[in-house]
Structure 1
Amino acid sequence: MPKRAVLLVNLGSPDSTAVPDVRTYLQEFLGDERVIDKPAWGPARRFLVNQIICRFRAPKSAKAYEEIWTENGSPLVLTSQAVAAKLATALGPDLPVYLAMRYRQPSIASVIEQMATDGIEEVLLFPQYPHYAMSSWETVVVKVYEEAARLAPTMKIESVQPFYEDADYIEALYRVSAPYLEEPYDHILFSYHGIPVRHLRKGDASKAHCTLVKDCCSTCSAAHAMCYKAQVLKTTDAFVKRAGLPADKWSVSFQSRLVGEPWLTPYTDKELERFAHDGKKRMVVMTPAFVADCLETLEEIAGEGAEEFKAAGGESFRHVPCLNDQAPYIEFLAGRVHRWLEGESPTATHILSSAATHQA
């Protein structure tokens, strides 16, 4: 039998909250052409990202990271390490689990080198993103394949596809959030990370469905395989049905937008203010796009979001923690790995075959 392993990959974090470290992280993150995909900028692109955007954004981001940083480092990295350790325990000693970050440390290249040194021949890549987006799921998968081709060309890698409506994933979400739904609330807001509307159109290979067809996200289409918005709506609908939420007590919004072009709406911060002004005093916010709590959930939602809601007249604000290293999520991950071991192919070829369209 070939020697197998599991590779978990998440976003990553700065090495510290020092401004130079945050700037280095932002340069790597925002320098990714699947994050800021502006080929029209040409030669000026690197200068714009490194010398203007990151230079002015790094001090502000460093202060935000200081708000959530722990004595042992980044919450995202620490949680991801705990997930990898618990998954390794669940799978047993014959199936090692490795962890890499798309940006900063541990790098994808260094982990692939380590796997090759350890004699790993077959890998199940498990991107820690439930939904497809070129700036998250796709950039992880493409980077892993690129580095493996360069450093370990004989290593066979299969990737788990976006698991946005996997019944076991929805069940894990429900089990983690159930205690927060037992207390009285006026509204539940499902806040997902935002992306530019343009990215949705680029993911539609037909160029005839996304944002062009009425109710495009609810109209069946092959484009949904690469449509972030359609997938987050399916996650929400599945969760709502599982939890039995009343139709008038939940909604969807999008956070973490950048200026300069249209992003997915409605915006989370605006929605929190609106609900407070409308008399919604008790708010619950879930962030299902993230499997581990990070800057966007801890500082932007649990911190700033709570302050904005209460400043607008709200009284109670509860942020439901992400799946993190809680048992339901470990059970979900282990279940998907066992399906792979039993012969189920998780190949992502049909998604990645369209990745070239993003460079157009």
Structure 2
Amino acid sequence: MKKSLIALAVLAAAAGSASAQSSVTVFGVLDVAYRHLDNDTAGTRDVLGSSGLSTGRLGFRGVEDLGGGLKAGFWLESEVKPDEGSQPNARFWHSRATVSLISDSLGEVRLGRDFAPTYSALADFDAFGTTGIGDTTRIYKVWGSVDSKVRNDNQVTYFLPANLGGVYGQLSVAAGEGTAGKKYYGGRLGYAAGPLNVNVGYGQTEVTNSDVKLTVIGGSYDLGVAKLMAAYQQGKYQGNKDKHYTVGATVPVGAFVLRAAYSKSKSNDATDRDADRIALGAVYNLSKRTALYGTYAVIDNDDAAKFTVSNDYSTIDAGDKSQGLEIGIRHSF
């Protein structure tokens, strides 16, 4: 009898532990595209690439209900290039690696490698989702050897709770840990209700001789027949200034989604790296998980600018035009 009672207690404890674990999900995206790339004087190249519509990825995420409106969560995500069967980054969990405490009423505290708020403030209002040859950040200037701050290591972020009547926001601080270009602080504040979504973001990255400062304003409005979006970003470094504009639209037509965008990058520094970009595309949804897509994009570089539509072919002479066509398939799971 005593052994039976002990066994029942162990089973009850195990059942309670299992019921507290709300969910663990394995997810991913496989995205492969044929690309024809033309970089003017440098010539043309045909490649089989990846991440034309969505970034290829493999991930694990989960949430545990701790009771009293409190949850614990984790997220591990790695980029995948199915055209090569490779993981393109030195660190396996390069895309995201975070652990969180989430309160229904107080918000979320998230620790680990994650998106910088200034990047999200821009990317959410790009008609091409900052992915593929239509990505608006293809004409994004790099300042002070600091990348576009898509993600930060060692980041601590606080997110506002989701019950504030459409108001959303976050504050993020990333520890430099003695490495120039890694120390970052920034935030984002927005309002999304009905068809309207607007936000503003600011971020500052500490480098050796001067800080890189980014200010972002973005917004979208869904008319039903079309969703209009626009974003503006200003970067400052060592007295120089770069302005980046993008406007775009997505138009649902049955199973199709038509996409169009125009972007402009303008600098006031001595390199005069200005550029204009136009992108046109269409997505055909075969199902909720599988889509076919096509995109055409062209970048008109000015003077010293050497932007290209794809990293698959980045050789180009200053001031030349870069254009490309991609046709691909994306499957998510």
Q: Please identify which structure carries the higher helix content.
A: 1
Q: Which has the larger radius of gyration?
A: 2
Q: Considering fraction of residues, name the structure with more strand.
A: 2
TM-score when scaled to structure 2?
0.25
TM-score, reference length from structure 1: 0.24
Structure ranking higher on relative contact order (CA contacts 8 Å, 6+ apart): 1
